Structure 1
Amino acid sequence: MFKKIRSLLLLTHRNSRKKNRLTLIFFTSLILICLYGTNKLQFLLSIDDLIDPDFQTYSSLKKVNDEFNDKNTVLLSIESKVVFKKEFLCGLQSWILNTAQERTDLIRIQSTFGIRQASVEKQKFQFRSFLDLNCLSQTPENDKILESFEKVKKSPWVDILTTQDNFTITVNFIVHDPKNQKYGSIDIHVVDQLKDSFQNFFKDKQILLKGLSLYWGGVTTYQSYLRKAFDQTQFLNGLMFVFSLLIFRLFLGSWKAGILFNLTILISLIISYGIMGFFKVPVDVLTNST
């Protein structure tokens, strides 16, 4: 068996040297085709995308995800040790409303502003928000804001959309499932876009953010960090090419040997990833130490 393989390799090598132009055209075409295939390569970040369809409870999980359609979330939590200023609350509410109108990739937005309480005033039934502020007025309304947060803390939403210890505003963005895109059923770009949108909105109002602590969380946010970790891993792999060149130079005294070695690895990677892209074999970053 070994002799047959050896003979086949020698024959291939001999023919490639005789027909070097044809060999060059073949490998150049193969590399170009595989480079195109790498654009189709998927990077799966979501645990849901990694579950085998033959798994016993897969259909139940898929049914739950389709029914609730809320597995992709971006959570913004803003905390303050003192009561929020009315100007900041009105600005934040305005940003949320603008975001809801401008972005079509959001299913819905849940926030502390959405907590409502039923009441009857002057024989009229009303369903007002706890944080029902008159943003057209210049009156600070500090007492009303403080009273509103006390009501929230006594509601079932405590520890969900606020906390007992500090004054907290929570905004939860439910993101559409993009379905089998480059990163599977997750859109990682929405996280940075929301962060940039928030910073740009308060760009000229930085004084309102003074003393506030901002935290970004949620499933989509976590998976965007996974993608960044994978990019950093790829960067480290790229540095290995540089180190290998130096090693070949130091120990073998040849740059050429190092370049040929790295080119061989690079071509092999392009061909492998290209084939994976064409045959829809995804890269699973969750099992690649990222």
Structure 2
Amino acid sequence: MSWQIRIEHSTGYRYASPVISSYNEARIIPQTGDRQLTLEATVRTEPSSSTYRYWDYWGTQVTAFDLHTPHTELIVTGRSVVQTAPAPARPTDVPGWDGLTDDHVSDRFVEFVRPTVSTPEHPELLAAARELAAANTPADFLPAVGDWVREKLRYQPGTTEVRTSAVEAWQQGVGVCQDFAHLALVLMRAAGMPARYVSGYQHPSADAAVGETVSGQSHAWVEGWLGEWWGFDPTNGVPAGEQHVVVARGRDYNDVPPMFGVYSGGASTSLGVTVSVTRLG
């Protein structure tokens, strides 16, 4: 049974002295695809600005805007209504490891099999990936990776930042959903499986009451190529389903930041991020 979810995402900044010019990009509009339909989506800024939208290289819808009126605070709010589908069954017509790692697949998905700054190679992780691949078919590999990651990482907000790499989080033994996703990507790519980072939102309750607004969260998970893309949430150990709302996909977090910009003015202080979600049906 599909869900309909309303999401409100607000993020803000305060500046030590007035900003006279800023150029910004927001990636907070959910995508429409095979298993998700965005019914409504708006982005508002304070101070008010004109916005325009485009799709970036990775297929994410970007809301761009610039401000040239002096301001000491900036607040960006996205509101959307999305219809999501239950988690799909794991693909059954899955190539074997030889099929996943042949030149045709590697060439087609070259950007999703190479290491990145946030998902670098490491000999111990390479050995772990090979051990997991030897013990599992590609279809079983992704859940096994999720189990391995949850054994190595303890979820603890505030222990890492957006620039923390998967290796650094693994060595510390703590992290947040971004780190769980990055570490899973390292293992998947080390085994030769094309893998991409997914950014979006998650409703926190599987049995959410219709009409109740609760505090949600920005969230990250992964998709692996099993003859088709299949999403898995390594933080929670579940396939991506009706509680997951896709906003952006890329190689790692650096391809999908919710907010990115440059400005001329004083040092900035984050006012924080709030996400509220309501199951409408």
The structure whose residues are more often helix, as a share, is 1
Q: Normalized against structure 2, the TM-score is what?
A: 0.24
The structure whose residues are more often strand, as a share, is 2
Structure showing greater radius of gyration is 1
